[in-house]
Amino acid sequence: MSKIFVAGGSGRVATELIKDLVSDGNQVVAGARRPEKITNLEGVSAVKLDLHAEVNEIAKLMNDCDVVYFVAGSRGNDLLQTDAFGAVKTMMAAEKDGIKRYVMLSSMYALQPEMWTKYKALAEITDYNIAKFFADNYLIHNTDLAYTIVQPATLTEEPGTGLVTLGAGGDTTNPIPDVAKVLANTLKHENTIGKVIMMRSGKTPIDDALSNLND
């Protein structure tokens, strides 16, 4: 069992992620600007997280945790201080606390700007991808964290299928529960450390897809 901090704990992906993490036997500390909106489950502690706060304040919230997930998003309303620098501050806080494992929810092709104009869905979220470009690069190049970056295609509200395709591909979609399951299950597969995982809907069971990342 791990004690896991989830930044952005009231969001759509976070709600499913927290359920998966608790189901796997973990204890979760979920942080959100409005903690009352965090799913109420046994094994989940809700705390108020302000990504505008100083790194020291954020570090206090995640103290004693083993893993940090960043699944926060401003939906375009606060891209610099939430999606970009807010993410960076959680990385700084994790390192300050001596936490090594860090899992980032990002966006398909966020690290490849040349792809953003090739697909309509990506072109529509260019500013978000710019924020994720800088956050993802900081995680890879400016920290010593044992990171995994998950880059899904367009999120949908459809029921999860448990089936995915990992790797680069066309402009497709992912049901939110499948994205959450990939995020949660990265902890079960050490080969996901140091990886950027693009994902979209497919025909391969999630654990099989993660197991075969090095193939």
| pLDDT value for 170 | 82
How large is the average pLDDT for residues 55-70?
98
| pLDDT value for 189 | 96
How large is the average pLDDT for residues 162-180?
92
How large is the average pLDDT for residues 8-26?
97
How large is the average pLDDT for residues 19-37?
97
Single pTM value for the model? 0.96
Task: Give 180's pLDDT tier (boundaries 50, 70, 90).
Answer: very high
Task: Give 125's pLDDT tier (boundaries 50, 70, 90).
Answer: very high
Do 166 and 185 meet the contact criterion of CB atoms below 8 Å apart?
no
Q: What is the pLDDT of residues 82-99, one digit of tens each?
A: 999 999 999 999 999 999
Share of the chain above pLDDT 70, in %: 100
Domains identified in the chain and CATH numbers: 3-211 (3.40.50.720)
Q: Which of 98, 102, 99, 70 is nearest to 85 (CA)?
A: 70
Q: Please state, rounded to an integer, the average pLDDT across all residues of the chain.
A: 95
| pLDDT value for 60 | 98
Q: Does residue 145 come out as left (phi exceeding 0), alpha (psi in the -120 to 50 range) or beta?
A: beta
Task: Give 121's pLDDT tier (boundaries 50, 70, 90).
Answer: confident
| pLDDT value for 215 | 57
Axis-axis angle for helices 12-23, 176-185 (nearest 10): 50
How large is the average pLDDT for residues 140-167?
96
Alpha-carbon distance of 115 to 163, in angstroms, equals 25
